[in-house]
């Protein structure tokens, strides 16, 4: 499998080159040359354990890594030591199925992709030599998962930006208590969108990017999306076995469009998925797009689900590329328009829809709290606020024609104040979180300017 850029100015490159490049050198996002049709393999795949399923899916996209090496990368990434008791178990809670994606080291779904990405980086560098300096932006969970994926690894440094005061205290401590010499935390004045803008501006300076040997861990890196495709297949198979249903629906809380995009790729590959329910919080640019055809920025609201407090979804460009018929010029024109006006639009079909594969909705703060309270009261199950966004939206939009799987993207212990407010009880706890409270921290505050972050990177690496 080769990779191309949505902007059309990066030629066909191999998987490992795509992993190292991260964001396309032309400012676009890297996508596979084609989407494989795997419908003929579903019966066999449905009987596989998670690691074996991951190997079968990922090898379709990573043909330049020998099978033995790829198996080793996957087995290290998803061992029982890293994910306890399983990578992506499904549990039944009332009328819904919940896909628990928080059994990794930082208690968030980002671990599933970033444990593998750290091992991929290490594999590639061990064969090519040299160093890699990772620049990332986080609205909460990506930062800690990325840090835990590469901390202490030889030849890798990581610089993670988060919006100062706009991630949860626990999310901040998960990042800033990691004191390894190769880890650099940066609190940026501004919102997550400002962090993401800085990251893209620096990555867009191709001369600096190459000189500084910059890579990416955000979901602009194709390997992130690829790793997440696996659990959509896995969960669909699990629920099919328990219900006998021909297909399932997934409700996906989203801010940056990466997780739900992985579900869309799985759907296009032939996974037994009938529909994707896209769920946003008050920062509803994506749900508005799928209901109106207009993608338009607005004010960034701080909510109890901070990882979704985003107005510019970095992975949306990948979806839009397919929406415009894989035409890089048309895509570039639309993104340039969005850059200058903050808005773009696509036509609706005859049924008044953007895409029949999606149904979209938003959950406000009261709906999130009510959903947490209801599931604890009725089913003795605690949802974190991000997961509650997905559950609330699913309860309103899913219908009853297929089983619904809601992605649980974080352990509730990461957001204890929201859990306490919803339930009246201090039940958002986890031993790994409790240990963080008295540890020393290290973090640098910088203004929301690309030049400040670029200067820090250059000084740190001796450029």
List residues with catalytic annotation.
110
Are 283 and 303 in contact by the 8 Å Cβ rule? The answer is yes
* Contact by Cβ (8 Å): 34, 60: no
Of 249, 254, 276, 286, the C-alpha closest to 356 is 276
Q: Is 118 within 8 Å of 150 (Cβ atoms)?
A: yes
CB-hemisphere CA count at 13 Å for 25?
17
Residue of 373, 380, 355 whose CA lies nearest to 420: 373
| 445 DSSP assignment | E
| Distance from C-alpha of 337 to C-alpha of 342, rounded to nearest angstrom | 7
Question: How far is Cα 264 from Cα 215, in angstroms, rounded to an integer?
Answer: 25
Q: Strand, helix or coil at 405?
A: strand
Closest CA to 142 of 229, 58, 259, 32: 259
Please, which residues bridge with residue 137 across strands? 161
Q: Which helix (H) or strand (E) is 114 found in, with range?
A: helix 110-128
* Secondary-structure breakdown of the chain: helix, strand, coil percentages, each rounded to the nearest 5: 45, 15, 35
> CB-based contacts of 210: which residues, under 8 Å, 6+ apart?
none
Please tell me the total number of residues recorded for the chain in this structure.
Answer: 463
Backbone angles phi, psi at 108, to 5 degrees: -145, 155
Contact of 337 with 296, CB cutoff 8 Å: no
Distance in angstroms between the alpha carbons of the first and the last residue of the chain: 34
């Amino acid at each position: 499998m080769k990779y191309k850029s949505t902007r059309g100015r990066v030629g066909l490159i191999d998987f490992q080159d795509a992993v190292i490049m991260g964001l396309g050198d032309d400012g676009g996002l890297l996508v596979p040359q084609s989407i494989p049709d795997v419908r003929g393999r579903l019966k066999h795949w449905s009987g596989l354990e998670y690691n074996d399923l991951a190997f079968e899916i990922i090898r379709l996209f990573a043909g330049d890594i020998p099978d033995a090496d790829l198996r080793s990368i996957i087995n290290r990434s998803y061992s029982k030591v890293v994910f306890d008791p399983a990578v992506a178990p499904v549990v039944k809670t009332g009328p819904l199925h919940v896909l628990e994606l928080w059994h990794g080291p930082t208690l968030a779904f980002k671990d599933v992709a970033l444990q593998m990405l750290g091992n991929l980086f290490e594999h590639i560098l061990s064969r090519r030599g040299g160093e890699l300096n990772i620049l990332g932006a986080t609205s909460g969970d990506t930062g800690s998962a990325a840090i835990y994926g590469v901390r202490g690894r030889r030849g890798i440094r990581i610089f993670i930006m988060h919006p100062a005061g706009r991630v949860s205290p626990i999310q901040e401590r998960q990042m800033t208590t990691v004191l390894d010499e190769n880890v650099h935390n940066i609190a940026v004045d501004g919102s997550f969108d400002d962090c993401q803008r800085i990251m893209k501006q620096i990555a867009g300076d191709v001369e600096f990017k190459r000189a500084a040997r910059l890579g990416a861990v955000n979901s602009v890196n194709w390997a992130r999306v690829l790793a997440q495709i696996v659990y959509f297949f896995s969960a669909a198979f699990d629920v099919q076995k328990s219900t006998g249903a021909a297909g399932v629906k997934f409700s996906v809380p989203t801010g940056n469009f990466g997780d739900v995009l992985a579900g869309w790729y799985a759907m296009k590959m032939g996974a037994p998925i009938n529909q994707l329910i896209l769920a946003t919080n008050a920062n509803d640019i994506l749900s508005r797009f799928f209901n109106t055809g207009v993608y338009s920025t607005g004010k960034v609201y701080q909510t109890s689900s901070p990882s979704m407090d985003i107005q510019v979804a970095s992975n949306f460009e990948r979806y839009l590329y397919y929406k415009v018929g894989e035409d890089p010029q048309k895509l570039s024109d639309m993104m340039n328009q969005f850059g200058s006006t903050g808005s773009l639009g696509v036509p609706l079909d005859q049924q008044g829809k953007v895409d029949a594969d999606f149904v979209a909705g938003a959950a406000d703060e009261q709906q999130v709290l009510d959903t947490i309270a209801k599931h604890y009261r009725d089913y003795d199950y605690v949802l974190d606020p991000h997961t509650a966004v997905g559950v609330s939206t699913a309860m309103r939009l899913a219908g009853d024609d297929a089983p619904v799987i809601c992605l649980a993207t974080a352990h509730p212990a990461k957001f204890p104040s929201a859990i306490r407010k919803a339930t009246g009880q201090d039940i958002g706890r986890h031993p790994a979180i409790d240990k963080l409270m008295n540890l020393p921290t290290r973090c640098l505050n910088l203004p929301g300017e690309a030049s400040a972050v670029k200067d820090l990177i250059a000084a740190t690496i001796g450029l």
